[in-house]
Amino acid sequence: MSTTAPATAATATRHRPAPRWLWLIAAYAALAVAVLLSLALGARDIPFGTVLDALLHPHPTTTDHTVVLDLRLPRTLIGVLAGAALAVAGTLMQGLTRNPLADPGLLGINAGASLCVLIAISVFGITQPAGFVWFAFTGAALAAVVVYAVGSLGRGGATPLTLALAGAALTAGLTSLIMLVLLTDLGTFDSYRFWSVGSLSGRDLTTAATLLPFILAGILLALTTGRMLNTLSLGDDIARGLGQNVTLTRVLVATAVVLLCGSATALAGPIVFVGLVVPHIIRPLSGPDHRWLIAYSLPLGPVLLLAADILGRVIARPGEIEAGLVVAFLGAPVMIALLQRRRLTSL
């Protein structure tokens, strides 16, 4: 009896899962590796020592230093910002709607941003990604406002179901309008198609600096809503019974989603699957606590997006495949596998 108890305790200790903060440290270590690889790999590989030397002791006349600082550093930072914004926004959307298949496009945000970018190209003649920033951000914000207003018209106000239905309806309508314009204006189509697939190239640090305050504001707001989403996940009635203002919670979360999705879409285009897949990858490590889900999303969203960008550069040398296409190609089978595992677990 006395020998069995210590053995049982030792076995339980040996099989106890690692603390969540250890996984969080590992996630940030993976992000550091992804950033270093993004700076080193591409059409021409640059040794890691040269990359570090370029960051610490830059020489404008050295070709490798110029490549690192002028070409790869901006796209890497944009990948970090866009990946974090999309992953956190996806986590918030799934918590807000209590729908595990929700992603930032659910509120019509991508469609609204895409339509305004199309207007920028066809009406104002803007052809550079840096010029799309404010159009994309405005379109994303307006689409979210419209969806929330329409979803609040019913007797029960804005519920997960009404928001999802309003977002799907707006997305369908705006997508039809976008296709109509593209089919009748080939010149606009040529400029729009590059932005629409999602890419980290063609942007500079000025664009990132412009949207950085909005992304930081969205992340800070998201971090404050983690406990609220935990309560909301119990159901509206229970949340109200516990003294939570459900309407205020939805407004705060929707505002954070608009800030994050609008900024990320303006930076890198309407990239899909990052906000959908990352929360599902995280849950086995973090559990259902939204505070930890958001904390894990911050490093792992950029890891996924940077990995896709690196892969697109490596497999198509000396050209590249846009990060949005690689994410979609890799994200689809991953999502199918996660859903299959979820279905088997529920049996």
Mean pLDDT (whole number) for 268-274:
85
Q: Region 328-344: what's the mean pLDDT? A: 72
Burial (CB < 10 A; 0-12, 13-18, 19+), residue 6, is exposed
**CATH class name, domain 22-39+46-53+60-346:** mainly alpha
pLDDT at 9 over 50: no
Would the pLDDT of 247 be above 60?
yes
pLDDT at 25 (0 to 100): 94
Residue 84 — very low, low, confident or very high, per pLDDT cuts 50/70/90?
A: very high
The pLDDT value recorded for residue 7 is 47
pLDDT at 177 over 70: yes
Can you tell me the mean pLDDT for 145-174? 81
Structure confidence at residue 287 (pLDDT): 84
pTM, whole model, 2 decimals?
0.86
Which pLDDT score, from 0 to 100, does residue 158 have?
67
- pLDDT > 70 in the chain, percent: 90
Task: Say what the pLDDT of residue 157 is.
Answer: 66
**Considering only 1-10, 36-45, 121-130, 269-278, which range has the smallest mean pLDDT?**
1-10
As a whole number, the mean pLDDT across the chain is 84
Res. 92 pLDDT band, cuts 50 70 90:
very high
Name which of 311, 221, 302, 228 is nearest 268 in CA terms.
Answer: 302
Residue 347 has pLDDT above 70, yes or no: no
Q: Give the mean model confidence (pLDDT) for residues 85-106.
A: 84
pLDDT at 258: 84
Provide the pLDDT confidence category of residue 79 given band limits of 50, 70 and 90.
very high
* Domain spans of the chain, in order of start: 22-39+46-53+60-346
Q: What is the pLDDT of residue 290?
A: 93
CA atoms within a 13 Å half-sphere pointing along the CA-CB vector of 230: 13
pLDDT at 121 over 90: no
174: its two tokens:
């705006």
Token couple for 58:
């830059």
pLDDT at 343: 59
Higher pLDDT, 102 or 327: 327
How sure is the predictor about 26, in pLDDT bands with cuts at 50, 70 and 90? very high
